[in-house]
C-alpha cells in the first residue's frame, strides 16, 4: 500500500512538472547563434522550459513573422526590425529591449593575413571578400558602411561574395571560398575569449552601433515561459555568456 502511494505521488509530481514545463519557439539572428546555444542550455537546466531555436537573417525572419510564422520570441541583429514589428502590431508593445551590442570584425582563418588596421582592404590582394546581404542582415549593412567610410567600396564591389545571412558569410570564409570577410566577433571568438586566424576589430566610429533588440511576439503573448526567457536573457548568468562572446551590454 505504501509503495502504491509512493508511485502515485511520483506520477503526480511528474505530471505537474510536465504541465509546468513548456516549449518556446525562438527566432534568433545568426550572429547570436553561438551564445544562444549556451544560454538555451542554461535556461533549460534552470527552468525546465525548452527553447526551439531557429537562426537566420533578421530581414528574412521579419518576412516570416509577418506571414504568420509560429515564433514566440525574436532576437534580432538590430533594433529597427523589432520596432517595426511592434508598430505593425506583430510584437507585444513595451516588450522590446536591447540584449546585446554587436561588434563587427574583418576576419580570415589564416594567421597573419589581416593586419591590425584593416589595410588589407586597400591592398586588394585577394579574390573574394565575404559580406552578408546588407538588405536583410544588419551586419551586412554595417560592413557596407565601413567600406563606404574607408573609400574602398567601389574598388571592392567586384570582389564581394554576398551571403544571405552573417552565418553564410562566415561559412564562405571558413570554407576557403573567400579569403576574408566581414563577420560578427561572436562567430570567431569562443566563450573563453579565444580566436583563431587573424582579424581587424573594426572601430566603432566606422559604423552605426549594432544594438540588438529582443521582443515578445504576438504568438508568445501571455505565455509564461516566453516571458520568463526574456527576463532570463537579462540575468547575470546570461549576461556573462553574452559578454564572453565579445558583445557589449546595453
* CB contact set of 19 (below 8 Å; sequence gap of 6+): none
CATH of residue 125's domain is 3.40.190.10
- What band does 25 get if pLDDT is binned at 50, 70 and 90? very high
C-alpha atoms less than 13 angstroms from C-alpha of 192 in its C-beta half-sphere: 3
Q: Check whether 249 has a pLDDT greater than 70.
A: yes
* Cell digits of residue 48: 525546465
Are 93 and 215 part of one and the same domain? Answer: yes
Are 160 and 40 part of one and the same domain? Answer: no
Average pLDDT over residues 216-225: 97
Residue 249 counted as domain residue: no
Residue 68 counted as domain residue: yes
Cα distance from N-terminal residue to C-terminal residue, the chain: 58
Are 135 and 223 part of one and the same domain? Answer: no
Three-state secondary structure call for residue 246: coil
Are 48 and 84 part of one and the same domain? Answer: yes
- In the DSSP assignment, the letter for residue 159 is G
Alpha-carbon dihedral 221, 50, 22, 212, rounded to 10 degrees: -10
- Tens digits of per-residue pLDDT, 98-109? 999 999 999 999
Are 81 and 170 part of one and the same domain? Answer: no
Are 27 and 48 part of one and the same domain? Answer: yes
- Tens digits of per-residue pLDDT, 107-131? 999 999 999 999 999 998 999 999 9
Angle between helices 58-66 and 80-87 (to 10 degrees): 10
Are 135 and 217 part of one and the same domain? Answer: no
Are 201 and 107 part of one and the same domain? Answer: yes
* Cell digits of residue 194: 579565444
Residue 161 counted as domain residue: yes
Q: Give the model's pLDDT for residue 127.
A: 97
Angle made by CA atoms 79, 38, 226, in degrees to the nearest 5:
55
Q: What is the mean pLDDT of the chain?
A: 92
Angle made by CA atoms 200, 108, 33, in degrees to the nearest 5:
85
Residue 174 counted as domain residue: yes
pTM: 0.83
Are 65 and 139 part of one and the same domain? Answer: no
Are 180 and 220 part of one and the same domain? Answer: no
- Tens digits of per-residue pLDDT, 139-194? 999 999 999 999 999 999 999 999 999 999 999 999 999 999 999 999 999 888 88
Domain extent at residue 164:
103-206
Residue 250 counted as domain residue: no
Residue 86 counted as domain residue: yes
Q: How far is CA 21 from CA 51, 146, 232, in A?
A: 11, 45, 15
Residue 110 counted as domain residue: yes
What is the count of structural domains for the chain? 2
The neighbouring-strand residues paired with 9 are none
CA-based torsion, 18, 20, 25, 29: positive or negative: negative
Residue 239 counted as domain residue: yes
Q: Check whether 13 has a pLDDT greater than 50.
A: no
Are 90 and 134 part of one and the same domain? Answer: no
Are 43 and 83 part of one and the same domain? Answer: yes
- In the DSSP assignment, the letter for residue 133 is -
Amino acid at each position: 500500500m505504501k509503495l502504491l502511494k509512493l508511485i502515485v505521488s511520483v506520477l503526480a509530481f511528474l505530471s505537474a512538472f510536465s504541465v509546468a514545463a513548456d516549449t518556446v519557439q525562438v527566432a534568433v539572428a545568426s550572429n547570436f547563434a553561438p551564445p544562444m546555444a549556451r544560454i538555451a542550455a542554461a535556461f533549460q537546466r534552470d527552468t525546465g522550459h525548452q527553447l526551439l531555436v531557429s537562426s537566420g537573417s533578421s530581414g528574412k525572419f521579419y518576412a516570416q513573422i509577418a506571414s504568420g510564422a509560429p515564433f514566440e520570441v525574436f532576437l534580432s541583429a538590430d533594433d529597427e526590425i523589432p520596432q517595426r514589428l511592434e508598430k505593425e502590431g506583430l510584437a507585444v508593445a513595451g516588450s522590446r529591449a536591447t540584449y546585446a551590442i554587436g561588434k563587427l570584425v574583418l576576419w580570415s582563418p589564416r594567421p597573419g593575413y589581416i593586419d591590425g588596421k584593416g589595410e588589407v582592404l586597400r591592398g586588394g590582394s585577394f579574390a573574394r571578400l565575404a559580406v552578408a546581404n546588407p538588405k536583410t542582415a544588419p551586419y551586412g549593412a554595417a560592413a557596407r558602411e565601413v567600406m563606404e567610410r574607408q573609400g574602398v567600396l567601389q574598388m571592392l564591389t567586384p570582389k564581394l561574395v554576398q551571403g544571405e545571412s552573417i552565418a553564410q558569410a562566415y561559412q564562405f570564409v571558413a570554407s576557403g571560398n573567400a579569403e576574408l570577410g566581414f563577420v560578427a566577433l561572436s562567430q570567431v571568438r569562443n566563450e573563453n575569449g579565444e580566436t583563431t586566424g587573424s582579424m581587424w576589430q573594426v572601430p566603432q566610429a566606422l559604423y552605426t552601433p549594432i544594438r540588438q533588440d529582443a521582443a515578445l511576439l504576438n504568438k508568445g503573448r501571455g505565455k509564461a515561459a516566453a516571458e520568463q526567457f526574456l527576463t532570463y536573457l537579462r540575468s547575470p548568468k546570461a549576461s556573462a555568456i553574452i559578454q564572453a562572446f565579445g558583445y557589449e551590454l546595453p
